[in-house]
Amino acid sequence: MNRVFLMGRLVKDPQVYETKDSKQKIVKYTLAVDRRGDTKGTDFISCICFGNAADFAERYLTKGRKILVEGKWETGSYNEKNTGKKIFTNTANIYSHYFVDPKPKATMEGPDGEQQVAEFMDIPDGFSEEVPFT
């Protein structure tokens, strides 16, 4: 079984490509994943996605956003143009994205032209019994 789950932050905004016939969108990004245990450090994982996952990534993912992804691990190789040397690749082919951090605050222009930050309303005290979660 080839299934991988990764949690980390996007190193930069995703890069969007289209196939030569412009029928399919391809989105690539790098995920910084912290190691646990004795080998502390960070791994930088190349990720690629197609179809609906690519549409989602293009629309919602931004640099620094913490996400959990699900996909499969793919290995490959190609010959370098100038030297002909064989280069081996490892990529996570992602088909599901999940947000881990809270939704970023939205900014909008106020009536006076200044930028304002829109925040979500807190649940008032006394309503906890009517709300199905706390």
Q: Is the dihedral of CA 73, 93, 64, 104 positive or negative?
A: negative
Instruction: Give yes or no for residue 120 having a pLDDT over 90.
Output: no
Q: How far apart are CA 79 and CA 86, in angstroms?
A: 4
Would the pTM of this model clear 0.85, i.e. be above it? no
| HEC secondary structure over 81-120 | CCCCCEEEEEEEEEEEEEECCCCCCEEEECCCCCEEEECC
CB 32 within 8 A of CB 68: no
Fold of 4-104: OB fold (Dihydrolipoamide Acetyltransferase, E2P) (2.40.50)
pLDDT, position 54: 95
> What tens digit of pLDDT does each residue of 88-116 get?
999 999 999 999 887 665 555 566 666 55
Instruction: Give yes or no for residue 22 having a pLDDT over 60.
Output: yes
Domain boundaries, the chain: 4-104
Query: Interior CA angle at 60 toward 90 and 93, to 5°?
Result: 20
> What tens digit of pLDDT does each residue of 35-54 get?
887 788 999 999 999 999 99
